[in-house]
């Protein structure tokens, strides 16, 4: 027995879930505006003395009722039962979208009228905004708010375009002055915007001239910057070359370090020991006595060749004119040495 009860309860639950939300036949669709009130009127009905009870249900749940000689009943303050049997719903929300059913009974309890309403909620569309450009000859009409908007565009009261999106675009090929009318609408309302556009040939030329002038200015600035950059690089390169030449001039080469100044003719040679004759054996070497210079002009030998260097003598690179042969001092006679 308990098993049969469980099976029956499961069947009833499945049936209730499958039938929940279904729209019954002869249901009238009603559109409501978000955040606004709505009245659900009973069609083809007039209140009279025969009517004893009017009941409103939402998804098979009683939400409002009006009986003879009794105050009206409302499940919440959102619903208001009027005297003519109309149900008023305040400040519609999106979750108020549902199937509402009204039942009318006479004094004998007989159902004399039954109607169903499928309430759908939409947001009212905002006023469309129209913008255009004479340069590319484009017009745009767009709406910011609204559920499922529908846009229609009219040119001089002639329908030219339609869209179910929030933006509609139109391009024209000729130059004229015309009036555009854009209408945004849905099932709960409509908004309209109208503009008059005048695009003359002069206006188009002005835009073209402004664009050409702007492009030319940018090009001239670019050329000036390029010239400035090239001249600056040339100055830096010439300055670098001058600095290198100055550093190279101050630097002393190894050949210049080994160079010695020219000897003056008649001066004492750098190595007097090599120029003197070897001493006589058996005699003590003495310092040479001072010998006065002979009178008369001194003869200089410029074109004589230097003797070949002796063994061990260092050869220095000669620069400038040839040096004169060093003068060799002869040893004084023996008599002069003894008298001295």
Q: Please say whether the beta carbons of 103 and 57 come within 8 A.
A: yes
Is this prediction's pTM over 0.75? no
Length of the chain: 340
Q: For residues 216 and 227, what is the distance between their CA atoms, to the nearest angstrom? A: 17
Q: What was the pLDDT predicted at 272?
A: 44
- Domain 129-198: give its CATH superfamily: Immunoglobulins (2.60.40.10)
Torsional sign, CA 271, 272, 278, 282: negative
Q: What are phi and psi of 96, to 5 degrees?
A: -80, -5
Give the pLDDT confidence score for residue 166 in this predicted structure: 93
Q: Provide the β-strand partners of residue 300.
A: none
| Bridge partners for 131 per DSSP | 140
Torsion of CA 149, 154, 159, 161, to 10 degrees: -50
> 49 vs 293, which has greater pLDDT?
49
Q: Which one of 41-45, 76-80, 134-138 scores highest in mean pLDDT?
A: 76-80
For 340, residues 6+ apart whose C-beta sits below 8 A from its C-beta are 289
Which fold would CATH assign to domain 24-122? Immunoglobulin-like (2.60.40)
**Could you tell me the strand order of the sheet in which 51-58 lies?**
27-33, 111-122, 99-106, 51-58, 61-67, 73-74
The CA-based angle 62-80-72, given to 5 degrees, is 70
For 200-208, what is the mean pLDDT?
A: 56
Top mean-pLDDT range of 10-24, 155-169, 248-262:
155-169
Is 216 strand, coil or helix? helix
Q: Closest by alpha carbon to 44, among 117, 107, 115?
A: 115
| Strongest mean pLDDT among 96-100, 177-181, 259-263, 310-314 | 96-100
CA 82 to chain centre: 62
Distance CA 167, CA 26 (A): 37
Q: Which two tokens stand for residue 162?
A: 């339609």
Sign, CA torsion 214/215/220/221: positive
Residue 235 confidence (pLDDT): 87
Tell me the pLDDT of the chain averaged across its residues: 77
Domains 24-122 and 129-198 in one fold = yes
The CA distance from 132 to 197, in Å, is 8
Q: What's the pLDDT score for residue 120?
A: 96
User: Where exactly are the structural domains of the chain?
Assistant: 24-122, 129-198, 204-231
Is the per-residue pLDDT at 93 higher than 90? Answer: yes
Q: Report whether pLDDT(267) > 60.
A: no
322 pLDDT band, cuts 50/70/90, is low
């Amino acid at each position: 027995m308990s098993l049969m009860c469980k099976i029956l309860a499961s069947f009833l639950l499945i049936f209730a879930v499958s039938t929940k939300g279904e729209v019954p036949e002869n249901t009238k669709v009603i559109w409501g505006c978000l955040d606004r009130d709505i009245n659900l009127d009973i069609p083809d009905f007039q209140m009279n003395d025969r009517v004893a009870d009017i009941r409103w249900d939402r998804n098979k749940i009683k939400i409002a009722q009006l009986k003879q000689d009794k105050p009206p009943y409302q499940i919440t303050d959102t619903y208001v039962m009027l005297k003519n049997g109309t149900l008023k719903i305040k400040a519609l929300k999106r979750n108020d979208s549902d199937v509402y059913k009204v039942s009318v009974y006479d004094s004998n309890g007989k159902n004399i009228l039954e109607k169903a309403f499928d309430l759908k909620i939409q947001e009212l569309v905002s006023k469309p905004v129209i913008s255009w450009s004479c340069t590319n000859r484009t017009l745009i009409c767009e709406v910011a708010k609204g559920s499922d908007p529908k846009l229609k565009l009219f040119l001089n009261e002639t329908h030219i375009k339609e869209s179910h999106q929030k933006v509609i675009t139109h391009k024209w090929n000729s130059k004229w002055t015309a009036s555009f009318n854009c209408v945004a609408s849905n099932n709960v309302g409509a908004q309209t915007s109208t503009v008059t556009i005048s695009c003359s040939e002069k206006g188009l030329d002005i835009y073209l001239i402004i664009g050409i002038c702007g492009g030319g200015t940018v090009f001239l600035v670019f050329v000036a910057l390029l010239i400035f950059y090239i001249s600056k690089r040339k100055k830096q390169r010439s300055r670098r070359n001058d600095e290198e030449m100055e550093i190279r001039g101050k630097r002393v080469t190894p050949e210049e370090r080994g160079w010695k100044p020219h000897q003056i003719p008649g001066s004492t040679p750098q190595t007097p020991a090599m120029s003197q004759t070897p001493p006589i054996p058996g005699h003590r070497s003495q310092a040479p006595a001072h010998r006065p210079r002979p009178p008369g002009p001194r003869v200089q030998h410029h074109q004589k060749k230097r003797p070949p260097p002796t063994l061990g003598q260092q050869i220095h690179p000669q620069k400038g004119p040839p040096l004169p042969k060093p003068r060799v001092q002869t040893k004084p006679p023996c008599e002069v040495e003894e008298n001295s």
